[in-house]
Amino acid sequence: MSQSYVGINPATGQVNNEYPHTTDAEISEALDKAVKGYKEWRAKSVKERGEILAKVADLFVERRRELGEIATKEMGKPFGEARGEAAFSGEIIRYYAENAEEFLADEVIKDDEDGKAVIQKRPLGPLVGVMPWNYPYYQVARFAGPNLMLGNVVLLKHAESTPDSALAIQKIMDDAGVPEGVYQNIFASHEQIASLIENPEVAGVSLTGSERAGREVGATAGKALKKSVLELGGNDPYVILSSEDPRQAARDAIAIRFENTGQACNSNKRLIVMEDIYDEFLDELIKETEKLQAHDPMEKGENVFGPLSSEKAAERLVEQLERAVSEGANLRVGGTRLDRPGFYVQPAVLTDIPKGTTGYSEELFGPVLSVYKVTSDEEALELANDTAYGLGSAVFAVEEGRAERFAEGIEAGMVGVNGTTFEDVDMPFGGVKGSGFGRELGALGIDEFVNKRLVCFNN
């Protein structure tokens, strides 16, 4: 296992920066600071915390170009998307800074001649956050924003491949006046994170990552009787029951699937298409995917795609596609590693994937469109739910009420009807089954790591 955090430019394969792991002594010191910082931070009013977090939000927006360039050169996200992610992260933090007083207000549940009873929402303490590389700012903002406003404090372990993004967030927190110990970036190892979760001073852990990582962190938290929030993988169904324009539907599906080079947990990974429009839909899908050309993600372009985040990610995706083909799937286009610097894999279209194979059940985290033909709504729903995951989903139909009826049967944390789910600061995000549990964003996002304390005032 690597003993350092290494940022590598996915477009070139060249190392940007390398940082050693935080030592055990530094981890202990960080925890001591967190405990002290928690006592001071929770004592501040929600308004006082909000004034500081508003400055954090401002800096995310002001520094969006700088942050975008860091993310692009560190994990390969197209620069326009990376810059937008940084700005959106500021919007998330501002949302909680401006609305936390309302979200955290006492809830009166009894008020009569015997007395009054209220539910108070209070912080739990220091939290550990384990965040991924694919959205290096957004993922942190949606965890840290609500919890800092609640009065919790954060020990943040970012992905080993995005250290400069992690340090850029820490600098924003420091420059905005977040007190010492309230938000701390740590370049921790997996073993150190496990020890932190087990430590009695830590109140909970939030992880966004793979199902494997979620099982490990969830098990450690469970043994230590700690609250956890797990946002894991997805194999989201994108169901097209009918369409007035199958070719436009195909172009729309491509635009969604290839955002962030297909590296999104809630991307439309399985396209389930009714047989009467399948051939026209697939033809357009292949034609448009064939047009795509590799390019530098720092540059603008049309009909282009960028690199995957790492050598490992590129190798794994190609191996998954080769295995799927060996098991009977049909690779219609793409799926090969490009002979050029960086971690480029030609976007792919995969069809005829046999039920029960790894290609049928695995999450393909990259620019791959997996397409299935169905003959009825019932078959489509069975296929949509035939997965270990349950994060996002979408269903489309031109007939009145058809998509709505279908959506009722989908087993997922998020469902879009005649469109994808809305992505905004007030829209809760999370899944069921193998996609984890808990919610982030919206009013629900501040309601996870909270002591819902009952207080009774007797007359």
Active site residues: 231
Please tell me the distance from the alpha carbon of residue 10 to that of residue 2, in angstroms, as a whole number: 18
Name which of 455, 447, 438 is nearest 208 in CA terms.
Answer: 438
For 434, left (φ over 0), alpha (ψ -120 to 50), or beta? alpha
Please tell me the distance from the alpha carbon of residue 186 to that of residue 323, in angstroms, as a whole number: 37
Counting every residue written for the chain, the total comes to: 459
Torsion angle of the four alpha carbons 309, 315, 316, 320, in this order, in degrees rounded to the nearest 10? 130
165 and 158 Cβ atoms separated by less than 8 Å: yes
Please tell me the distance from the alpha carbon of residue 232 to that of residue 241, in angstroms, as a whole number: 28
Per-residue CA distances from 253 to 174, 241, 270, 366 (Å): 41, 14, 10, 14
Please tell me the distance from the alpha carbon of residue 338 to that of residue 346, in angstroms, as a whole number: 7
Name which of 68, 43, 64 is nearest 122 in CA terms.
Answer: 43
Residue 327 burial by CB count (10 A; 0-12/13-18/19+): exposed, middle or buried? middle
Specify the 3-state DSSP secondary structure of 116.
strand
Residue 184 burial by CB count (10 A; 0-12/13-18/19+): exposed, middle or buried? buried
Please tell me the distance from the alpha carbon of residue 152 to that of residue 46, in angstroms, as a whole number: 12
Which uninterrupted H or E stretch holds 334? none
